[in-house]
Amino acid sequence: MTTEQMIYEGLYLMLLGMGVVITFLSLLVLLLTLMKKLIGDAIDETVHEPAIVVESSKNDAVLTAVITSAIHQHRK
């Protein structure tokens, strides 16, 4: 097999491999889009708001104190 034949064979295999990958990825995107259209509506209906509402100002103060303490300990 000559060098020129090997180059052509390599280019053929490269293009064949890239074609297979592009075809697979395109099919994957198509199937995921189809699944989103079929199942997405059912999933959106099942999402609920959180049942527990926590006072953010109290938790923010505690969180700030914890972070400040952690930074102070780390710098020691």
The contacts of residue 9 (CB under 8 Å, 6+ apart) are 1
Residue 45 belongs to domain spanning: 3-75
Please state the separation of Cα 58 from the chain's center in Å: 34
Domain count, the chain: 1
As given in the structure block, the two tokens for residue 17 are 């491999």
Q: How far apart are CA 9 and CA 15, in angstroms?
A: 10
| Residue with more model confidence, 57 or 20 | 20
Amino acid at 4: E
pLDDT confidence of residue 60: 79
pLDDT confidence of residue 41: 67
Alpha helices in 1-76 (DSSP H): 3-46, 56-75
Model confidence pLDDT, tens digit, residues 31-71 = 999 998 888 766 666 666 666 655 666 677 788 888 999 99
pLDDT confidence of residue 40: 75
Tell me 76's DSSP state: -
pLDDT confidence of residue 43: 67
Q: How far apart are CA 66 and CA 72, in angstroms?
A: 10
